[in-house]
Amino acid sequence: MIRFATLFDTLDRTTKTTVKVAALAAYFREAPEADRLWTIALLSGRRPKRAANSTELRTWAAEAAGIPLWLFEEAYPVVGDLSETIALVLPPPTGTSDLPLAAWIGSLIALIGQHADIRRRAILDAWDQLATNERFLYNKLITGGFRMGVSQGLMVRALSQATGHAETELAHRLMGDWTPATTDWAALIESADPAAEGARPYPFALATALDDPAALGEPAEWQAEWKWDGIRGQMIRRGETFALWSRGEELITDRFPDFAPLAQALPNGTVIDGEILAWDGNRPLPFARLQKRIGRLNVSRKLLAEAPAHLLAYDLLEEGGIDLRSLPLAERRARLEDLLNALPAGLPIGPSPAIGFADWEALARTRATARAEIAEGLMVKRLSSPYHVGRRRGDWWKWKLDPFTVDCVMLYAQSGSGRRANLFTDFTFAVQDGEALVPFTKAYSGLTDAEFNEITRWVRRNTLEKFGPVRRVPPELVFEIAFEGIQASPRHKSGIALRFPRMLRWRRDKPVTEIDTLDSLKALLARHS
Amino acid sequence: MSNVSGNRSDDLLERVLPGSILCDMANDPVLTFTDKGIFCPAGGFYIDPWRPVDMALITHGHSDHARGGHNRYLATEAAMPVMRHRLGAIRGETLRFGDVRRIGGANVSFHPAGHLPGSAQIRVEVGGEVWVVSGDYKTEPDGLCEPFEPVRCHAFISECTFGLPVFNWTPQPEVMAQVNEWWAANAAAGRTSILGAYSLGKSQRILANVNPDIGPILTHGAVEATNRVLRGQGLSLPDTVWAGPDITAKTHPGALVIAPPSALNTPWAGRFTGASQAFASGWMAMRGVRRRRGLSQGFVLSDHADWAGLNWAIRATGAERVFVTHGYTQVFRRWLADQGYDAGIVETEYEGDEGETEDDIEVVE
Ligand SMILES: [Zn+2]
Ligand SMILES: [Zn+2]
């Protein structure tokens, strides 16, 4: 555990990816194989089953610390993390341990299903042998949610440095249903795996934000499409290999079992760039529906039925095993449509429609209807352009809608967690409804640390009431909130819910009397739903 | 400035003030809580008031306790020089630790709080009833200031900046060993070490305990100015060099730079190219706070009592009534009530010197 805790501390103390990758790579070279395997498992979201639930952990920790449970519960929101709160309240350990990570995990797995007394004894014993930073990680092993500030991509890069295997190949090897109990280092990482070698994606072509389309010149030289609000993905079928990559080059094949039929239906040697969307049979569903599925390793049948995934294809990058990326977009697009038209009906894939337009003004009018189409705006691409590597200014543009904004006043402030544990960063805002103020949204990002510092001092001096970590403050500070969408929501007092609300500006210039009204938000809702 | 305590009849502080003539000593509590600060009706004085008053007794020189604008000040001998440095020409008198001064109907004395050199708890006795105001305090001796002494009292007004059971300090020798190790490793790698520490108290505590053989020690102007004041009153600190504009990582390779936290990650710190930056504060106990500051290293070193220290100190006073201020007051009050104390909260405008507010730091450059 000491080696693993040292790795974690190194990763935690730096924001430099080079340092993180180097530390991980060294760990993958030096740690015992079983520890390496578990580290990969943890960093890719696999964890042992819970040996104790959160209530048990809190109770046992409070007991060991000699404090009442209510006091533990008061400290928890201040720290913002259960594992850390437990690590901090416990009395200093009376012993030490040099057991490796895998052995600790083994002992936790052995506890599953045991009587509470046995689990309690074992966990109290463990706490008594571990230093604060080790305890924190031990608790994380139980509660899950291991992040360590390392994406799967970074982990794969480090693994690639340590083993000499290509990153894309490793990402493919790490897919699927393995656990450290069902495989070993040699089988997972070192054995020959032709399917993994075939999964290699192309770098995504990216677009630049567009302000004024008139600068693009002749409309006939351009193709417009909706900028869908989903997950950009690259689908690959090469022989027995079928892979779906996200734009972050994360392999997400397993998250979307909906696409499994395409593994056979797509012709051999096909690579498609498109947008993964939740689909109602004919058109996309709002992003919120897809969001429910993201982050879940195992998607339930119910979710699959509620929000079936669909790929709207933008581009064809490889056909019959031939790299098409240097062909002009118009040519790739024609081949894409031919390929998709030749597929049997009923598959979860289709072309993202091209939008015809006579002039830029007509296109601007189309763009204004994007929200009704459940799109974020438009993509404008030069018909003669190749499929660039990364972002290359000039050929691909995104022409997004401006966000909605509302001026409102802060009613409640709550301290942040994690990085901002001793600052007030989470605010609840209200708009006017006649004489009253109605809370309608929360937001917690968009300001600078200096502004959060200043607001934190103000909140401390102006607290009217405290409810746990929440403080009620006088309605004096006015903010401009930006958001991407608005929905009716019977669960909220205001009757509305915002999508992606964030603070655009602290409006020191604006008095509370000039904030927006609930009526104006309801009118917005009526126009956009 | 008079350093003589005791019974001089012409002493300005001994005159009975108009306010206290009206007070009813039998019924008034020894101390009351007003919108100007903690007030003693029998003595007509305030303790660490935050609005201008006639007579202010000051526990220590941090800016949330020693504010400008009062007519007269009374503090310990060791606290006064910094107050004069920070507040300019003030009308002040000093008292030695333990000496008793009669002010109106109250007997007043100052007792070591262990927070920084000269920092005091203030004991007020009226008609046999004793109340003590803790100011800021820590219970672990730090090798620099007068160690905390519990004072028996009936009512204790205690700070509780770190009044939650998640705050449990590692003993200073271990933390200082971590600091030395960090500095030595940086020096060996040719890196400057910049350590953020409050310019009054924490900086000198680190100076007094760090291993000066590792390399040169540089100071930010705000720290150096405070060092000068404290050296002037006889405190012994290792040699430091003010990091003026000509001083860089090249002129002093492998140096330790002590600077106020507000100087971290600024252009001022930027001249020490490639430096490792760290912050010494009780708040560094929390991972989230360390990460918010974007620091590679945090040292958990506080000039306030931790959970065990607060509980120990309160018990040691023998007080039955405890008022808490300055921190997690609601939770800590409830905890004390659970332990059988008659516990209350005093709303004060002390903001803490531990990074809750960074107003405390005067950045000189
Ligand atoms: Zn202080
Ligand atoms: Zn203070």
**pLDDT per residue as tens digits for the range A264-284:** 999 999 999 999 999 998 889
Nearest CB neighbour to A75, from listed B164, B283, B357: B164
The residue type at A258:
D
Of the candidate ranges A85-89, A405-409, A505-509, the one whose mean pLDDT is the lowest:
A505-509
Taking only the tens place, the pLDDT of each residue in A415-430 is 876 556 678 989 999 9
Is the residue at B250 inside a domain?
A: yes
Range of the domain at A243: 205-400
Whether B286 sits inside 8 A of A419 (CB atoms) is no
Residues B95 and B73 in one domain: yes
Q: Which residues of A touch B289 (CB under 8 A)?
A: 421-422
Which of B167, B292, B328 lies at the smallest CB-CB distance from A420? B292
Q: Point out the least confidently predicted range of A24-33, A206-215, B125-134, B198-207.
A: A206-215
Report yes or no: B349 at the A interface, CB cutoff 8 Å: yes
- The sign of the CA dihedral B235, B239, B240, B246 is positive
Whole-number mean pLDDT of chain A?
89
Q: pLDDT higher for B270 or A223?
A: A223
Residues 258-287 of B with CB under 8 A from A: 283, 285-287
* Residue pLDDT, tens place only, A284-342: 988 778 877 776 667 788 888 888 999 999 999 999 999 999 999 999 999 999 999 99
- Please list, in sequence order, all residues whose beta carbon lies within 8 angstroms of the beta carbon of residue B31, skipping any fewer than 6 positions away: B38, B39, B40, B47, B124, B131, B133, B155, B157
**Least CB–CB distance from A419: residue in B285, B292, B355:** B292
pLDDT at B144: 95
In B, which residues are within 8 Å of A8 by CB distance?
none
Looking at the structure of chain A, the number of domains it has is: 3
Residues B326 and B226 in one domain: no
Q: What does the alpha-carbon distance between residue A475 and residue A409 come to, in Å, rounded to a whole number?
A: 6
Could you read off the pLDDT of A126-137 as tens digits, one per residue? 999 999 999 999
Read off the tokens for A390. 């990364």
- CB-side exposure of B285: number of CA atoms within 13 Å? 23
User: How many domains is chain B built from?
Assistant: 2
d(CA A382, CA A391): 14
Q: Is residue B19 part of a domain?
A: yes
Q: What is the mean pLDDT of residues B239-261?
A: 94
pLDDT-derived band at A347, boundaries 50, 70, 90? very high
Residue B118's pLDDT band (boundaries 50, 70, 90)? very high
A309-319 and A322-323 beta bridge pairing: antiparallel
Identity at B255, one-letter amino acid code: A
Q: Do B283 and A422 touch (CB under 8 A)?
A: yes
Distance CA B55, CA B64 (A): 17
Of all residues in chain B, what percent are helix, strand and coil, respectively (each to 5)? Answer: 25, 25, 55
CA of residue B357 to ligand 2 center, whole Å: 10
Instruction: Out of A367, A400, A433, pick the residue that ends a domain.
Output: A400
Distance CA B224, CA B258 (A): 9
Sign of the dihedral defined by the CA atoms of residues B73, B74, B76, B77, in that order? positive
Mean pLDDT of B120-124: 98
Per-residue pLDDT at B358 exceeds 50: no
Report, as an integer, the average pLDDT of B111-130.
97
Polymer length in residues for chain B? 365
Q: Which ligand ends up closest to the CA of B357?
A: 2
Q: Cβ neighbours of residue A382 under 8 Å, at least 6 residues apart? A: A221, A222, A223, A329, A394, A395, A396
pLDDT number for residue B361: 30
Query: CB A84 to CB B286 under 8 A?
Result: yes
Which positions in chain A touch B355 (Cβ < 8 Å)?
422
Q: Considering only CB atoms, which chain A residues are within 8 Å of B291?
A: 12, 418-419
- Domain end: B277, B299, B321, which one? B299
Per-residue pLDDT tens over the stretch B298-332: 999 999 999 999 999 999 999 999 999 988 889 99
Mean pLDDT, residues B48-75 taken together:
95
CA dist A175 and A194 (Å) reads 14
CA of A13 to the centre of ligand 1 (A): 29
Best of A422, A466, A471 to substitute, by most chain B Cβ atoms within 10 angstroms, is A422
Domain boundary among B299, B325, B349: B299
- Residue in chain A closest to B308 (alpha carbons) equals A91
Pairwise pLDDT comparison (B24 vs B53), residue with the higher score: B53
Enter the ipTM.
Answer: 0.88
CB contact under 8 A, B166 and A461: no
Mean pLDDT over B156-160 rounds to 95
Q: How confident is the model at residue B267 (pLDDT cuts 50, 70, 90)?
A: confident
CA A55 vs. chain centroid, Å, equals: 27
Asked if residue B133 is part of any domain, the answer here is yes
Candidate from A383-387, B175-179, B192-196, B351-355 with smallest mean pLDDT:
B351-355
CATH number (domain holding residue A420): 2.40.50.140
Domain around B182: 172-299
Residue entry with tokens 């797995």: A109
The rounded distance, in Å, linking the Cα atoms of B187 and B256 is 8
- Higher pLDDT residue, B348 or B88? B88
Distance from CA of A87 to the nearest CA of B (A): 8
Please report, for the domain that includes residue A123, its CATH number.
1.10.3260.10
Same domain, B240 and B176: yes
- In a mutational test of the A interface, the residue from B169, B287, B290, B295 whose CB has the highest number of chain A CBs within 10 Å is B287
B276 and B345 part of one domain: no
Q: Could you tell me if A20 and A55 lie in one domain?
A: yes
Token pair of A73, please? 């519960």
Which DSSP category does A290 fall into? Answer: H
Regarding whether A466 and A384 lie in a shared domain, the answer is no
The answer as to whether A243 is a domain residue is: yes
Q: How confident is the model at residue B359 (pLDDT cuts 50, 70, 90)?
A: very low
At residue B24, the pLDDT reads: 53
pLDDT in tens, A43-53: 887 888 899 99
Cβ <8 Å between B291 and A12? yes
Mapping DSSP to helix (H, G, I), strand (E, B) and coil, where does residue A348 land? Answer: coil
Percent of chain A with pLDDT over 70: 97
A226 and A86 inside one domain: no
pLDDT of amino acid B351: 58
Instruction: Taking residues B27-41, report their average pLDDT.
Output: 91
Q: What is the arithmetic mean of pLDDT over A96-100?
A: 93
Q: Which residues contact A17 (CB under 8 A, 6 or more apart)?
A: A154
CATH of residue B184's domain is 3.40.50.10890
Q: CA nearest B358 in A: which residue?
A: A453
Q: Does B167 touch chain A (CB under 8 A)?
A: yes
Q: Quote the minimal CA–CA distance from A289 to chain B in Å.
A: 31
Q: Is B292 on the interface with A (CB under 8 A)?
A: yes
pLDDT average, residue stretch A488-498: 85
B354 pLDDT tier (thresholds 50, 70, 90): very low
Q: Sorting pLDDT into bands at 50, 70 and 90, what band is A228?
A: very high
Mean pLDDT of chain B: 88
Determine the Cα–Cα distance for residues B243 and B251; give it in Å rounded to an integer. Answer: 10
Q: Is the pLDDT of residue B22 over 50?
A: no
CA of B115 to the centre of ligand 2 (A): 10
pTM value? Answer: 0.72
User: Is the same domain home to A219 and A305?
Assistant: yes
